[in-house]
Structure 1
Amino acid sequence: MPNNFRQVKKQSKMKTRLTLIIVFIVSIVSAYSQNISGDWNGETKRGEKLITFVFKIEQEDSKYSTTMSVPTFRVSGIKPSTTTFIDGKLIIDGSNVGMRYEGVYNRDTQQFEGTYKEGGVELVLILKRGTIKIANSRRPQEPVKPYTYYEEEVVFKNTEAKIALAGTLTLPSKNGKFPVVILISGSGPQDRDESFMGHKPFLVLADHLTKQGIGVLRFDDRGHGASTGDFGNATTEDFSKDVLSAIAYLKTRNDVDVKQIGLIGHSEGGIIAPLVANNSKDVAFMVLLASTGISGTELSVMQSKTLRQFPVKDEAAYEKNTRKAIAIVTSNNSESEIKEELTNHYNAFLRPILTSLNVPKEKINAFIDGQLKTSLKPWSRYFLQYNPANEIEKLQIPVLSLNGSKDTQVNAKLNQEGIRNALIKGENKDYKIVELENLNHFFQECETGKMDEYRKIEQTFSPTALKEISNWILKRI
């Protein structure tokens, strides 16, 4: 065979091999540098409950951002802090809102295969491209447009925090000047409707009050929905400044009676409200819904026992160890020292309990990791050291306190005793404290008051509680 023929053949083989290598490299690069912008959805099961997730991923330049919705629970607008897609691995880090998704792209199925983590819960979640049709799950009390009153989408700024807060203002009419209440949501990132367990209590409350002649401003928490900012690093005090910004905004409007601006706080919102009022001369009255009257430490100790999802043999020892964990968190040590000491404490305290219940090691690790992350947040450290009774004592404006008798999250009798004693000590001349029978933490008529019951109840907000709120306000404006 001539040498030149052999050389041509050899070059041809090399060229073919090189072409295959190039094609292979291009296929890898295209798979891992592809644009993953768009909607991704997936379903997973927790127990018998099927949960649907939707992630809307957007790309600007080389950076990704994600907005998460959980249609099953009618929750939307959740904004995880960072999204990365490197070498086929997608990480949606929502440490600011207590969640994390990690998935690897499967080129054959064109899906992300991974896990969703929230607190101590870890779920297998496969994401596929596309939107999903969400069934209408509107609860009976939710209003249907067109409303009989005026509604406006608004945005106002907390200039100190350099964030914009988006919300909805409803007024009895487009023309006139009206009293307005600001709704303050409970703990955790909440949208303007305080959407929770398939309900929208703030939407129902706003609708009721506006129909009674009382304007309402409700807004998405910072870093949630259409509001900007970082929820994960904010404290109760930071949230109070967001409400102060809402007051400042209302004062710029000529359709608001600035002498009749009130606050309605639910759960944590009820301990934010007194902090706001004591830093503003523009709060005329206040309604506390399922609010606490004891310190964050005492509330946390109580909830650690009543809301705990596993049994313990020695309640006294469990409480002692819980208090020790709180003491570590609230110490003056550095964050690294607190983390190390708390990790050792949780391993000595929680791990043996969960191991004795045959909980798998990986789930115990995830649970302890979740406890650590929650405990080390600025919010936790502030909350545990905050006693709302100290702020309630200073209030010299009219105060209405409502709690449900079957509230398993915030014990009515104990907390209303704290609220009452603070108001008496501060010599408040106008207050009313009512324990409403058979209502839970969200003021639904209920059987047990337990958290797993919220979703099953069709009622969003007891008419009795709604009337109690509006009647009390109308007598004071």
Structure 2
Amino acid sequence: MKKSFLLLVLLFSTVLTAQDITGAWHGLLTFPGGKLRIDINITKPATGYAATMDSPDQSAKDIPVTTIDFMSNTLTFAIPAGNIDYKGELLNGEFVGTFTQNNYPMALTLGRKEVKVAALVRPQEPVKPYPYYEEAVTFKNEKAGITFAGTLTLPKKEGANYPAVILITGSGPQNRDEELLGHKPFLVLSDYLTRNGIAVLRYDDRGTAASGGEFEGATAADFATDAEAAFNYLLTRKEINKKKIGLAGHSEGGVIAPIVAGNNPNVAFVVLIAGTGIPGDELMVLQNFLINKAGGMQEEELNKMSVILKNAYSVIKTEKDQAAMKVKVTAVFNEQLRPLFISKGIPAAQVNELITAQVDDLTSPWFTYFLRYNPAPAIEKLKCPILAINGENDLQVPYKANLDAIKRAADKGGNKKVTIKSFPGLNHLFQTSATGLPSDYGDIEETFAPAALAEISGWILKQVK
């Protein structure tokens, strides 16, 4: 599953100091798999300081921050809601420091010179005006009390009786386009489907972009109620054929879709786009092994890492008390992972940070739920047609183990309306990729392989004839 690093836009105040730090500050955040520009614009109201932080590459602006301090030439700020903090020292006209999110530290220097990056080439991204109708919509998850914002596309504004599909994003806070590293997979997919006569509803995750609620602390079970609310909304639209509404989930969305469809016999079909079929803990061990192997890690170390993760995951699956869980997982990592890191020459202080980050991440509500969850029983319950597709170079949701497991679960449930297909040379995002490594996602110009788009569209049209 992908865990992308999405930046919130910040608004914060600071204590007054003699140093003038007002104006614009610019930096480039670099992390595994990509880079993001940030711009901090500091002003000075009657007391203290105020500022906003923008992420131009994510079209994000003016989202609040909680605390900031500037003292002794050191700038610090924190946003607990996003688990974000920054500390930088003013040296030669620049703040040189560390930006941390989810306890993952990343170097970040903020200077006065605007950061220029080469324009991303995304040839598949559609350009307006579109040859179909597009409408900004809202709907409410009554159970959670959350209002969602999304986009509904229809082949024609005045049309009727359209089949429809709801797109469900992968892990992490995602907007309606499932935007990642300059790619907008759900925009490309919805454009393709709508041009082929299928209505599409895509929406911002809870607590993300224009949707309300809080993302932090939510699990796949919560996200399933959001997708159910999207389904109920489409039932109110006169343009939609109420008997031909399906779900299409990518990555974690492929976990969520069967949960919804298994409890709602009115779901007409399910499309699993790199969806999982094996338990979460098994998936994460396999994912870690394959990504590190592709990155050059030796077999002996790969096997050691797999054992360490299995031991940590075993604690998470069995220990119900979170405080005790964190203590036990920390002990596993200190005893088994620390020596491996130290042997690589990683400084002890950095090892401490890495272990703390891993423990906090793995024991979070989302990760705990995911590691404990087995998608097979939900797939067994499905009676509607299923399309399950994967890229054969997918290192995050390896195709063979997961497609085989999906097929076994469907067979066990007696569902004969199942299509399984893998695509040679495609990665987790369904881009053509030689390595499949997540670090390549942003460098690849292709957003969604045409063959995969055609398979999804053609299959849906067959189901709704």
CA distance in 1, matches of 2:216, 2:191: 30
Moved more, 457-466 or 151-160: 151-160
Residue 161 of structure 1 is matched in structure 2 by: 144
Cα displacement (A) at 1:43: 2.3
Equivalent of 1:427 in 414, 418, 443: 414
Aligned partners of 1:362, 1:95: CA distance in 2, in Å? Answer: 25
Question: Matches of residues 282-431 of structure 1 in structure 2 within 5 Å?
Answer: 282-308=266-292, 311=298, 313=300, 315-431=302-418
Structure 1 gaps, min length 5: 1-27
Residue equivalent to 2:260: 276
In structure 1, the partner of 2:454 is 467
- AA at the equivalent of 1:274: P
Task: Report what 2:26 is aligned to.
Answer: 41
Q: 1:465 to 1:107 in 2, by over 3 A?
A: closer
Counterpart code for 1:124: A
Paired residues of 1:250 and 1:256 also in contact (CA < 8 A): yes
| Aligned counterpart for 1:221 among listed residues 205, 222, 237 | 205
| SS of 2:422 mapped into structure 1 | strand
Alignment partners' CA distance in 2, 1:135 and 1:447? 23
Q: Deviations over 1:422-474 (max 9, x none)?
A: 11111113111111122111111222222222222211111111111111111
Q: Select 1:140's aligned residue among 108, 123, 147.
A: 123
In the TM superposition, what are the counterparts of 1:240-279 in structure 2 within 5 Å?
A: 240-279=224-263
* Residues 1:92 and 2:112 are matched in the alignment: no
Say yes or no: does 1:114 pair with 2:114.
no
Change over 3 Å in CA distance of 1:175–1:130 after alignment to 2: farther
In structure 2, relative to structure 1, the CA distance for the partners of 1:62 and 1:278 (3 Å cut) is farther
- Using the TM superposition, name which of 462-471 and 157-166 deviates more: 157-166
How much does 1:144 deviate?
A: 0.4
Say if 1:31 and 1:107, in contact at 8 Å, map to a contact too: no
The one-character-per-residue Cα deviations of 1:284-343 (angstroms, maximum 9, x if unpaired) are 111111111111111012122222365573554433322110121122342111111111
Q: Displacement of 1:164 after TM fit?
A: 2.1
Deviation at 1:251, TM superposition (A): 1.6
Residue type matched to 1:337 in 2?
A
In structure 2, C-alpha distance between the alignment counterparts of 1:462 and 1:150, rounded to whole Å: 24
**Higher alpha-carbon deviation: 235-244 or 155-164:** 155-164
Q: 2: distance between equivalents of 1:214 and 1:91?
A: 46
2:176 alignment partner, one of 170, 176, 192: 192
Superposition TM-score, scaled by structure 1 size:
0.83
Matched, 1:52 2:37: yes
Q: Structure 2 vs 1, CA of residues 65 and 156 (structure 1 numbering), >3 Å: closer, same or farther?
A: farther
CA distance in 1 between partners of 2:317 and 2:44 (Å): 40
Uncovered stretches (5+) of structure 2, i.e. residues with no partner: 1-13
Greater shift, 364-373 or 443-452, is seen at 443-452
- The answer to whether the Cα contact below 8 Å between 1:80 and 1:92 also exists between their aligned partners in 2 is no
Aligned CA distance change for structure 1 residues 105 and 301 (closer, same or farther; 3 Å) = closer
- Counterpart amino acid of 2:214? D
Q: Which residue of 1 aligns with 2:8?
A: none
CA distance in 1, matches of 2:34, 2:270: 38
Identity %: 42
Q: TM-score, normalised by structure 2?
A: 0.85
Task: Tell me: CA distance 1:155–1:342, structure 2 relative to 1, closer, same or farther (3 Å).
Answer: same
SS in 2 for 1:475: helix
- Residue 5 of structure 2 aligns with which residue? none
Comparing 153-162 with 435-444, greater Cα deviation is found at 153-162
Deviation at 1:267, TM superposition (A): 0.8
CA distance 1:105–1:358, shift in 2 (3 Å): closer
CA shift for structure 1 position 55:
5.2
Q: Structure 1 148/48 Cα, relative in aligned 2: closer, same or farther at 3 Å?
A: closer
Query: Which deviates further from its counterpart, 418-427 or 404-413?
Result: 404-413
Q: Once structures 1 and 2 are overlaid, which stretch shifts more, 276-285 or 233-242?
A: 276-285
Q: 2:308–2:337: 8 Å Cα contact kept in structure 1?
A: no
Q: CA deviation at 1:250?
A: 1.4
Using the alignment, how far apart are the partners of 1:289 and 1:340 within structure 2?
36
Residue by residue, what CA displacement relative to the aligned partner does 1:110-157 show, whole Å, maximum 9, x if unpaired? x65531124675333233579877765350011001111111112222
Match for residue 7 of structure 2?
Answer: none
**Aligned with 2:432 (options 445, 456, 471):** 445
- Provide the rounded CA distance (Å) in 2 between the counterparts of 1:348 and 1:79: 43
Q: If you compute each CA radius of gyration, which structure gives the higher value, 1 or 2?
A: 1
Taking the aligned partners of 1:205 and 1:279, their CA distance within structure 2 comes to 26
Match of 2:85 in 1: 101
Q: Indicate conservation of the 8 Å contact 1:64/1:84, yes or no.
A: no
- Of structures 1 and 2, the one with the larger relative CO (CA 8 A, separation 6+) is 2
Give the Å deviation of 1:280: 2.2
Paired residue type of 1:155: T
